[in-house]
Structure 1
Amino acid sequence: MKYSLFLPQGWLMDLSSIQSPVEAYEAMTHTAQTADEVGYESVWLVDHVHTAPQSSQALIFESWTSTAALARDTKRVRIGQMVSCNGYRNPALLAKMASTVDVLSHGRLTVGIGAGSGQQEHYAYGYEWLETPERLSQLSEAVHVLQAMWTQEEAIFEGNYYQVHGAINQPKGVQKPHIPLLIGGNGEKVTLKLVAKYGDACNIGEDVETIGHKLAILQHHCENVGRNYQNIYRTAGTICMVADTDEEALARVPEKMKEVLGTMMHSVLIGSLDTIRRRITAYEAVGIQELVIRFPDPFQLFELYIDVPLVSRYSRWEM
């Protein structure tokens, strides 16, 4: 199992205690640099422009400009979005942006993309919010555009939503055959079929039992399209809070976060080390290869663990 980190970006008010935008960015990038140093596999940003669970005046950093900055602020760790909202950017331009960031990072970028969430955000920023089937159709076309821009000398694509007519994208990035594409979402009929056909990686944010079911569906789609299921890198999001006892760990989790997690509470990494070991084993058993971890207080994580000999136990989970 590999372990990665959601960065404090402002989306969940996780930078609200810092008044200065400059200091808030430095806190975010310091977290990324620390993750880089102690052995996390990758760091991830969300693609939202308003805070959650309610929109507020608290700051939140935009995803792709932050990705570019982090590409220069870090040295080893991979960088990605969980996931880019397809409706926010033309996919041909997104491909160009990604190619540039892959160069900036010396080949450490993963592009995450999904159909998008956050209807209120779309409305506030003037983006059209289409019904789910249309957004999924747009996502399918966007994936084709991305791959065309990364693999063709003059990209050609003619769809209902997107068209490119001999678009040149140089440089195409560092990684070969192209930048890895993570397709987020777990819709069984459309999204997971898209992953089976075109995704290099997927992310499923559900409880372990549901993840197992979704990955079985993905494997079935792979068989139908002649794709090797093992060639798709499988990730899941989780929350982590470590304490001496399960009760103590649970008490430290904010009530709003408990409400959001719902049925995932019995799967996520909240509890004693023994409990967390068992839950990691459960993720592995259903086929997850990398856990993307959100700490309720990521700054506390590093304050508590970074300077002690047990750092690897908490950061790399070498247990």
Structure 2
Amino acid sequence: MRFGMFIPQGWRLDLVGIETQQHWQVMSDLARRLDANPTWESAWVYDHFHTTPKALPEATHEAWTLMSAFAAVTDRVRLGQMCTCMSYREPTYLAKVAATIDAISGGRVEMGIGGGWYEHEWRAYGYGFPSAGDRLGRLREGVEIFRQMWTTGSATLDGKHYQVDGALCFPQPVQTTSAANRIPIWVAGGGEKVTLKIAAQYADYTNFDGTLEGFRHKSQVLQDHCTAIGRDFAQITRSANYNVVIGATDKEVADRLAFVEDLQIKGGLPAEQAAAMRENLATQPAVGTPDKIVATLKELRDAGMSYAITYFAEAAHDTSGIELFEREVAPALAD
């Protein structure tokens, strides 16, 4: 199994209590830490502008700016976002940004892309909030524009949502890691009628439901779409995101859950909402002692989940959970 990790950037109130002028130091130190440890194949950020689950006046650092900065301070680890909202930036512009960061990083960009969902954020930034059909229509057309620009150097499309005429992308992405000789595309989301159909056509990677039952079901839907269009299902790497709360004992797990809850409250989340989030977090697949997490992830690996993107809510404040995961979980799941 392969592993990536989200770098805290504030979106999930994970930088609360740290002075703003120290945020970049904390984030860049974590990025360098991942870069130096072969456990981690990739570092990730979220593409959001306001905190969740409530918009609060706390820092949320912009994803693609961070991608560029991480590219300049690391050498090995791959860099992705899970996931970029197609409609927040024109796809021609985004393809150019990604190609530039690919050059800065020496060919380490992963393009996570989706239709977008955070309605408050959309409206606050003046994007409106198009129907799900329009958002997914933009996703499909935008991914087509990416592929054209990254493989031929230009894109022309007279679509319903985007009209481009000879948009150039030079320099071309430098990486040669994918079969198509371009930046790998991760189509994120589990919508069965549209998103997974787009994934079957365009994705190098997918990212959807990380529970065992949900993962098996979404995988079957994806496979059916692949069969319908004649694509080899095995060409697509299936991933999922996991909130990791790990401790050597059940008490340590409970203490870490309490720390996360307290962080949310300090960030301004109402106590009852923070308590509900804690209760939900406690039931998730990658919460528990190392043996429990290993057993869960082995079942998921057997179901075809070969790339886990992890999130440690306390990472900006305490890396002991990451260290425990590196020592006792990752080696037990190594390919």
TM-score when normalising by structure 1: 0.92
Instruction: Describe the superposition over 1:255-300 as per-residue Cα deviations: whole angstroms up to 9, x where unpaired.
Output: 5577458777545211112111111112102211111111120135
Task: Specify which of 263, 288, 296 is matched with residue 271 of structure 1.
Answer: 288
Q: What is the aligned partner in structure 1 of residue 127 from structure 2?
A: 127
Q: What is the aligned partner in structure 2 of residue 207 from structure 1?
A: 211
The secondary structure found in structure 2 opposite 1:298 is coil
The secondary structure found in structure 2 opposite 1:3 is strand
Q: Is the Cα contact below 8 Å between 1:246 and 1:270 reproduced in 2?
A: no
Q: What is the aligned partner in structure 1 of residue 30 from structure 2?
A: 31
Instruction: Describe the superposition over 1:54-101 as per-residue Cα deviations: whole angstroms up to 9, x where unpaired.
Output: 111111110001101101111111000100011100001100011001
Task: Specify which of 186, 191, 202 is matched with residue 195 of structure 2.
Answer: 191
The structural deviation recorded for 1:304 is 6.3
The secondary structure found in structure 2 opposite 1:299 is coil
Partner Cα separation in structure 2 for residue 279 and residue 2 of structure 1: 15
Superposition RMSD on alpha carbons, in Å? 2.1
Partner Cα separation in structure 2 for residue 187 and residue 46 of structure 1: 19
Evaluate the alpha carbon distance shift between residue 235 and residue 99 of structure 1 in structure 2; reply closer, same or farther with a 3 A threshold. Answer: same
Q: Is the Cα contact below 8 Å between 1:102 and 1:173 reproduced in 2?
A: yes
Q: What is the aligned partner in structure 1 of residue 146 from structure 2?
A: 146
Task: Specify which of 268, 272, 294 is matched with residue 311 of structure 2.
Answer: 294
Q: Percent identity?
A: 35
> Mapping of 1:21-170 within 5 angstroms?
22-39=21-38, 40-170=40-170
Partner Cα separation in structure 1 for residue 322 and residue 130 of structure 2: 45
Evaluate the alpha carbon distance shift between residue 222 and residue 305 of structure 1 in structure 2; reply closer, same or farther with a 3 A threshold. Answer: closer
The structural deviation recorded for 1:318 is 4.0
Partner Cα separation in structure 2 for residue 146 and residue 5 of structure 1: 25
Q: What residue identity is the alignment partner of 1:151?
A: T
The question of 1:223 aligning with 2:222 is answered no
Evaluate the alpha carbon distance shift between residue 91 and residue 304 of structure 1 in structure 2; reply closer, same or farther with a 3 A threshold. Answer: closer
Q: What residue identity is the alignment partner of 1:7?
A: I
Q: What residue identity is the alignment partner of 1:24?
A: H
The question of 1:19 aligning with 2:40 is answered no
Q: What residue identity is the alignment partner of 1:213?
A: H
The question of 1:244 aligning with 2:243 is answered no
Evaluate the alpha carbon distance shift between residue 189 and residue 46 of structure 1 in structure 2; reply closer, same or farther with a 3 A threshold. Answer: same
Partner Cα separation in structure 2 for residue 311 and residue 198 of structure 1: 33
Partner Cα separation in structure 2 for residue 114 and residue 261 of structure 1: 27
Q: What residue identity is the alignment partner of 2:245?
A: M
Instruction: Mark the runs of 5 or more structure 1 residues left unpaired by the alignment.
Output: none
Q: Is the Cα contact below 8 Å between 2:242 and 2:311 reproduced in 1?
A: yes
The structural deviation recorded for 1:9 is 0.4
Partner Cα separation in structure 1 for residue 52 and residue 316 of structure 2: 19
Instruction: Describe the superposition over 1:7-41 as per-residue Cα deviations: whole angstroms up to 9, x where unpaired.
Output: 10000111121123x31111011111111112211
Partner Cα separation in structure 2 for residue 265 and residue 218 of structure 1: 29
Q: Is the Cα contact below 8 Å between 2:242 and 2:285 reproduced in 1?
A: yes
Q: What residue identity is the alignment partner of 1:77?
A: V
Partner Cα separation in structure 1 for residue 322 and residue 74 of structure 2: 20
Q: What residue identity is the alignment partner of 2:100?
A: T
Q: What is the aligned partner in structure 1 of residue 267 from structure 2?
A: none
The question of 1:284 aligning with 2:284 is answered no
Q: Is the Cα contact below 8 Å between 1:206 and 1:264 reproduced in 2?
A: no
Partner Cα separation in structure 2 for residue 47 and residue 257 of structure 1: 22
Partner Cα separation in structure 2 for residue 139 and residue 262 of structure 1: 34
Evaluate the alpha carbon distance shift between residue 258 and residue 195 of structure 1 in structure 2; reply closer, same or farther with a 3 A threshold. Answer: farther
Partner Cα separation in structure 1 for residue 65 and residue 130 of structure 2: 26
The secondary structure found in structure 1 opposite 2:165 is strand
Instruction: Describe the superposition over 1:289-315 as per-residue Cα deviations: whole angstroms up to 9, x where unpaired.
Output: 111111120135525665xxx774157
Evaluate the alpha carbon distance shift between residue 315 and residue 77 of structure 1 in structure 2; reply closer, same or farther with a 3 A threshold. Answer: farther
Partner Cα separation in structure 2 for residue 226 and residue 17 of structure 1: 52
The structural deviation recorded for 1:224 is 1.1
